[in-house]
Amino acid sequence: MSTTSSATSNAISDVPSATGNDPSANGRFGPPSLCVEILTGEQSEWTGARLPGEGRPHPAHRLLAQDRGEYLLVGLRGGATAPDPRPLALHLAPGDICFYDARHAPALDFAAGCRATVFLVPSELLGLARHDTARVARTPVARDSPLGALLSPLLSDLARTAAEVGPPVGEMLAWNAVNLLATLVAEQSGTATGTGADVGAGGVPGTPGGRSPLLVRVMEYVELHLTDPDLSPEVIARAHHISVRYLHKLFKEEDTTVGRWILRRRLEECRRDLMRNGRGSRTIAAVAGRWGFLSAAHFSRVFRSAYGMSPREWRDMAGGGRM
């Protein structure tokens, strides 16, 4: 986990990333491979400034703000491979949280005296699929919304505090920021993130409103039986007195299948356990078995396919531990 916090009078795009300097001086904590950075900037003239990113800027996309205050911006690394062709002009208010695709960062048109805090986070850490990046980036979280009112000041405080504490605490704060941002992503994209923080209709993680009551009950049943290795479409259909064919039809309306939903939720819970208990005594095989995986080898394959790294790599980057 890497966090960088810098105050600068230059354009936010000129804020330096963490380098190999003394960690106590530049605020870099833990292994650098997760590349979570927290950057801050304030200047007298923002017009034309560019947000930090990893690819070509998107000249048609602009973020506008006229009122003094702090704006929270989240650059999603590893997002969409092609820029959204539709022009984007988002008007922000102080305290708003705005996601953007770091591969095609927008320009800023901010009034003098505005402050910007930028979180650069790999999208996979937030459980965000590539095709959801554009949708999330086009929908800022308002400071006066229920989630914005709760999370905006917390993220702001985390960014300030991370630069003032030692590496162990700073790394923990960075992970807290990731979990808070994952909650926002789940709300914006309507998907579960595995953080356990997003609860939708019927108490099912990641389920937005508008779903049929039967589907919500089915998802609740899945949540209660995720640890059962015998959980299957046949078992679920029988428990709800419906045909397997109709069960598949319910999930088809969600652009997924029963099996994929079960696998996704199990992987999310395993990922959370590996991150939370990275330094504990539970082995990777034990975590997989707890969530219904009968084969450790199969678990490792599907985990890598979903997240681009092995369970061991994820656990080690999230804090280390023993196999």
Query: Using H for helix, E for strand and C for coil, what is the string for 158-170?
Result: HHHHHCCCCHHHH
d(CA 279, CA 222): 29
Cβ-proximal residues to 200 (8 Å cutoff; 6+ apart), any chain: 190, 206, 207, 208, 209
Cβ atoms of 18 and 33 closer than 8 Å: no
Query: How many helices and strands (H and E) does the chain possess?
Result: 11, 7
Mean pLDDT of 268-285: 79
Encoding tokens for residue 294? 């009968």
Cβ atoms of 268 and 192 closer than 8 Å: yes
Mean pLDDT of 312-318: 82
Segment 112-159, tens digit of pLDDT = 888 888 888 888 777 776 677 878 888 899 999 888 888 899 888 888
> Between 304 and 78, whose confidence is greater?
304
Residue 49 has pLDDT above 80, yes or no: no
Residue 11 has pLDDT above 70, yes or no: no
Where are any strands of DSSP class E within the chain?
A: 37-42, 61-65, 70-77, 88-91, 97-101, 107-110, 115-122
The answer to which of 98-107, 132-141, 284-293 has the lowest mean pLDDT is 132-141
Residue 166: CB atoms within 10 Å: 10
Q: Is 3.90.76.10 the CATH number for 199-323?
A: no
Q: Which of 68, 114, 62 is nearest to 90 (CA)?
A: 62
Mean pLDDT of 240-255: 88
Cβ atoms of 103 and 51 closer than 8 Å: no
Instruction: Output the pTM of the full model.
Output: 0.53
Report the chain's terminal Cα–Cα distance, integer Å.
20
Residue 197: band (very low, low, confident or very high) from pLDDT cuts 50, 70, 90: very low
Mean pLDDT of 93-110: 89
Q: What is the pLDDT of residue 231?
A: 96
d(CA 206, CA 268): 11
